[in-house]
Amino acid sequence: YLGAIDAANQTFNAYVAVTHDKARDMAKASDYKLANGEGGALEGIPLGIKDLFGTEGVHTQACSHVLDGFKPRYESTVTANLWADGAVMLGKLNMDEFAMGSSNETSYYGAVVNPWRAGGSNRQLVPGGSSGGSAAAVSSWLCAGATATDTGGSIRQPAAFTGTVGIKPTYGRVSRWGVVAFASSLDQAGPITRDVRDAAIMLKSMASVDPKDTTSVDLPVPDYEAAIGRPIKGMKVGIPKEYRVDGMPEEIEVLWQKGIAWLKDAGAEIVDISLPHTKYALPAYYIVAPAEASSNLARYDGVRYGLRVPGKDITDMYEQTRAAGFGREVKRRIMIGTYVLSAGYYDAYYLQAQKVRTLIKKDFEDVFAAGVDVILTPATPSAAFGIADQDMASDPVKMYLNDIFTVTVNMAGLPGIAVPAGLDAHGLPLGLQLIGRPFDEETLFQTAHVIE
């Protein structure tokens, strides 16, 4: 894997730091354990880690200039869990700055290139975002699996764009401790892997209750792998009519119908459902997420971490540091966030968005209470698009529309998985999404395995 990274990383730009020595030391320790018949569930498995996870003594910058040179003195709970199970760290993976984006183009370290190309074209495509480095590295065999995070779709959308599997677990399933915060009430970590079984194995290792994250939930972590291969006969699969959005390409509809047919053939019962508040999810998300981000990002002041640009006094130093340290998209989010939280606008925007969030959650609760076991939707409204796409670059709202099928899940705190389901007319991967009941990741693995 280290050789493959050295040979291919210039092409894909998936890694922002490669930990050669650490990887060899960890692998040697694993060899020793395995030779003695010991070792954990992930013994010797080489993983890439999204740059958002704090890794002790190793590059952790959320791919932002403002964290220049930052090497934490702690290890995130997720990565500590992985190392405890024997996994080997290959390095830190590229991502959108502070996980804000859907194309991995907002990274201070430059865009990640999707290993997939449209048939007959040399045009470079984005791998999706914000976990674009994770998805590209898995898809191009530069790691066996990768950690990722999902605030509004950042695991599932890049998985769909690269033909990989990505699961965002239920909010509270995985500890957020030591992971750089974007929007704390929405952020959740999960794996990106090459197949559903790998995702089940890796999530089991990542998930834990953690006294250091008060929102982590004290429920036993099931053996997710055991769910794979269980028959889905009699399972009730909901198809939400609100996900049939205007302007959705024909091929996405075709893919969705194929998914429905596969599950039906496997014995599932297909039911039409309604999630009436879906259309408000994206606008409400783009109030809640920037509001929380503006508060979380207040700590980057040039004093405690990373970059410091000297100024004539301390206020000037703060301003100079933040002006130089944050990229355009991050600044846009901070401005939106501080605006919607400010006196006079709080009630009109933030409070309203929180109410909408409750309604979105209730839509899902009603459907699950009526007996639906799992919901099937497309993962994204299109296949991967080109790097520096003019439409998206000139209009941030077009970029935000990528999350139309994924943000509802974060708003409701539910688990969602993206699973590769076929190719478009140009040979690019497309994904389907399954949404489950809180803490019922097992049903997602069980059903996703039927689709993959």
| Residues noted as catalytic | 50, 130, 154
Check binding of 130 to ligand GLN (CB under 6 A).
yes
How buried is residue 328: exposed, middle or buried, by Cβ count under 10 Å (0-12/13-18/19+)? Answer: exposed
Q: Look at the block and give the residue holding tokens 């600044």.
A: 331
How buried is residue 222: exposed, middle or buried, by Cβ count under 10 Å (0-12/13-18/19+)? Answer: middle
Residue 146, classed as helix, strand or coil, is strand
Q: Using CB under 6 A, which of the segments 100-108, 274-282, 316-324, 436-444 binds ligand GLN?
A: 100-108
φ, ψ for residue 88 (rounded to 5)?
Answer: -115, 130
What's the closest the beta carbon of residue 235 comes to ligand GLN, in angstroms?
28
- In the bound state with ligand GLN, the residue whose beta carbon lies nearer, of 190 and 438, is 190
How many residues sit close enough to ligand GLN to count as binding (CB under 6 A)?
Answer: 13
Check binding of 221 to ligand GLN (CB under 6 A).
no
32 Cβ contact partners less than 8 Å away, ≥ 6 residues apart? none
Task: State how beta strands 145-150 and 46-50 pair.
Answer: parallel
CA-wise closest residue to 418 among 399, 443, 435: 435
- The neighbouring-strand residues paired with 448 are none
Q: Using CB under 6 A, which of the segments 24-32, 151-159, 382-390, 415-423 binds ligand GLN?
A: 151-159
Distance between CA 35 and CA 290 in Å, rounded? 50
Site string for ligand GLN, 281-300 (x = CB under 6 A): --------x-----------
- Which of 140, 151, 278, 443 binds ligand GLN (CB under 6 A)? It is 151
- In the bound state with ligand GLN, the residue whose beta carbon lies nearer, of 72 and 416, is 416
- Give the residue at shortest CB distance from ligand GLN: 154
Q: Look at the block and give the residue holding tokens 């099937």.
A: 376
Q: What angle do CA 297, 302, 305 make, to 5 degrees?
A: 75
What's the closest the beta carbon of residue 112 comes to ligand GLN, in angstroms?
14
- In the bound state with ligand GLN, the residue whose beta carbon lies nearer, of 101 and 191, is 101
What's the closest the beta carbon of residue 64 comes to ligand GLN, in angstroms?
13
- In the bound state with ligand GLN, the residue whose beta carbon lies nearer, of 152 and 238, is 152
Span 414-443, contacts to ligand GLN by CB under 6 A: none
- Residues at the site binding ligand GLN, with contacts judged by CB under 6 A: 99-102, 130, 150-154, 182, 289, 403
